[in-house]
Amino acid sequence: MSFRLPKFPMITIFHNPSLKTSTEALALLKKASRRYNFEIDLVQTNKQPPTHQQVKNIVEYLGNGSIDEGLAQVLIPEAVEKKPSTVAEVQEILDRNPGYLRKPLLVDWNRGKALIADPPRRVFELVKAEGAYEER
């Protein structure tokens, strides 16, 4: 007999509490979580930057499978002199400067979806996507 932990729907928000956009996105995400069936994983990137595997997945998810599209979105455009051309370059940049990750960044690891919630109402694009989450 085996025992498996249940898979709870969860959305990770990579968050910067000093950014108004990020704070608003978090508030909307909390509101949505009361209506829809998912948990929130709050990650303050100044304290806990994403791992290399997370960065790889985020780039893929942001680009809907296109690495090039994801690379164009994952970092704050004004922060980098030269746009990265590989996931490894993004990882190196974030290892040195975790604050260069665009925020608020929402990731649904189970569904393989990610988006930058700027403007914050974009939260609902992830939450209300067809078949994403059941209402409570």
Beta bridge partners of 41: 12
Architecture of 10-127 per CATH? 3-Layer(aba) Sandwich (3.40)
**The pTM is what?**
0.89
What is the rounded average pLDDT of the residues 41-62? 92
Question: Mean pLDDT in the chain?
Answer: 90
Phi, psi of 21 (to 5 degrees): -60, -40
Domain boundaries, the chain: 10-127
Reported as a pLDDT band with limits 50, 70 and 90, residue 131 is: low
